[in-house]
C-alpha cells in the first residue's frame, strides 16, 4: 500500500500548480462573499461532521465488516474534504471559493473531530480506546497544497485580470488531464488491493461515497441553497481526504494499523471515478438545459 514516487512526489507538485491555476478564475470577493453569507458553510459542516459519521456507522453496522475496516470507514467519514474536491467543483462550474473555504474550515476542525471519532471507533469496534491525535503538520500540508495556492491565484486575478482570463481555459484542460492521470496511477498502484478487497470492502466504500455525494447535494437543497453551491458541497462532502486517513492509520506514532487504511485507499480510488462521472452528468445536464432554452427561444 506504499505510494509510488509519481503519486507521493509528483501529485503534490502538480496539485499546487493546478490549485494556483484554479485560483486564477476566482476573485478575492468570492471568498469574502462566502464568509459574509456563511449559511452554505454551516450546512456543509453539519453534513460533514454530524450526518456523515451517522450514515457511515449505520452502513458499517449493516455490512458486518471486520473491526479494522469499520474503524477505517469511520475515520474516513470524519475526515475533511479532499484537496481535489475544488478541482471537481471547478470542472463542474460550481462555487470553487465555497469549496476551498470549506476545505480550510473542516481541516482545522479535523484536529478535534478526527481524534474523537478515532477513539470512539476503537471503543465501539475493539472495546478499547487510545489517545489518538492529529498532527498539526498534516493540516498544514492541506493548506500548503490547496488553500494557499488558490488564494495566490485569486490575488493574481485581482492584479492581472487579463492574464488570468487567458490562462483559464488551458488550466481547465490541464486539470482534466491531471485528474485522469491520477485515476490511472492510483488504479495501477493499488491494483492488488482492488483485486483482494474490492469485492467485499469495495461495495461498502462505493455505497458510502454515493451516500456522501447525495447528502452533500440534496440536504443543502432542502435549505434553499443554490445549484453552484450545492455542487461545491457535494464535491467537498463526497470526496474525503483519504490520504490523511491512510497516514493516520498507518503511522507507527498513531494507530499503526495497516488494515484500517484499506477502506480509505479504496475510497480514494472510487471517489476519483465517481466524482468524474458526477461532473460529466452535471455538465451534460447543463448543456441539455441550455439547448432546450435556445430551442424554446
pLDDT digits (tens, 9 = 90+) for 49-93: 899 999 999 999 888 888 888 988 998 898 888 778 888 898 888
- Is 108 within 8 Å of 95 (Cβ atoms)? no
Identify the sign of the CA torsion 162, 94, 279, 197.
positive
CATH 1.20.1530.20 fits 5-287, yes or no: yes
* Residues 177, 181: Cα–Cα separation, whole Å: 6
Residue 212: pLDDT above 70? Answer: yes
pLDDT of 297: 47
Closest by CA position to 249, among listed 33, 35, 20, 1: 1
Using DSSP's 3-state secondary structure scheme, residue 160 falls into coil
Model confidence over 256-277: pLDDT tens digits? 777 788 888 888 788 888 988 9
pLDDT tens-digit series, residues 4-30: 444 555 556 666 776 677 677 677 777
- pLDDT tens track for 108-159: 788 788 888 888 888 888 776 566 666 666 667 666 766 777 778 778 877 8
Q: Which helix (H) or strand (E) holds 162?
A: helix 161-189
* Cβ–Cβ under 8 Å, residues 283 and 92: yes
What is the residue-averaged pLDDT of the chain? 78
Cα 99 to Cα 104: distance, rounded to the nearest angstrom: 9
Amino acid at each position: 500500500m506504499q505510494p509510488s514516487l509519481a503519486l507521493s512526489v509528483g501529485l503534490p507538485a502538480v496539485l499546487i500548480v493546478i490549485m494556483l491555476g484554479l485560483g486564477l478564475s476566482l476573485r478575492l470577493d468570492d471568498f469574502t462573499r462566502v464568509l459574509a453569507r456563511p449559511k452554505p458553510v454551516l450546512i456543509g459542516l453539519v453534513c460533514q461532521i454530524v450526518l456523515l459519521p451517522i450514515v457511515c456507522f449505520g452502513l458499517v453496522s449493516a455490512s458486518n465488516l471486520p473491526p479494522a475496516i469499520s474503524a477505517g470507514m469511520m475515520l474516513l467519514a470524519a475526515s475533511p474534504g479532499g484537496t481535489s474536491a475544488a478541482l471537481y467543483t471547478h470542472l463542474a462550474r460550481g462555487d470553487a471559493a465555497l469549496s476551498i473555504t470549506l476545505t480550510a474550515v473542516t481541516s482545522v476542525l479535523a484536529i478535534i473531530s478526527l481524534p474523537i471519532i478515532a477513539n470512539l471507533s476503537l471503543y465501539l469496534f475493539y472495546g478499547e480506546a487510545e489517545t489518538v491525535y492529529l498532527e498539526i503538520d498534516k493540516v498544514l500540508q492541506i493548506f500548503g497544497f490547496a488553500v494557499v495556492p488558490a488564494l495566490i491565484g485569486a490575488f493574481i486575478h485581482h492584479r492581472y485580470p487579463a492574464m488570468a482570463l487567458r490562462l483559464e481555459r488551458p488550466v481547465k484542460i490541464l486539470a482534466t488531464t491531471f485528474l485522469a492521470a491520477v485515476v490511472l496511477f492510483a488504479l495501477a498502484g493499488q491494483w492488488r488491493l482492488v483485486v483482494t478487497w474490492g469485492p467485499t470492502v469495495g461495495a461498502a466504500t462505493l455505497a458510502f461515497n454515493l451516500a456522501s455525494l447525495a447528502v452533500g447535494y440534496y440536504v443543502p437543497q432542502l435549505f434553499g441553497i443554490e445549484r453552484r453551491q450545492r455542487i461545491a458541497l457535494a464535491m467537498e462532502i463526497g470526496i474525503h481526504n483519504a490520504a490523511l486517513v491512510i497516514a493516520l492509520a498507518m503511522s507507527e506514532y498513531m494507530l499503526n494499523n495497516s488494515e484500517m487504511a484499506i477502506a480509505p485507499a479504496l475510497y480514494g480510488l472510487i471517489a476519483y471515478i465517481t466524482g468524474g462521472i458526477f461532473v460529466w452528468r452535471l455538465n451534460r445536464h447543463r448543456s441539455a438545459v441550455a439547448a432546450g432554452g435556445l430551442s424554446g427561444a
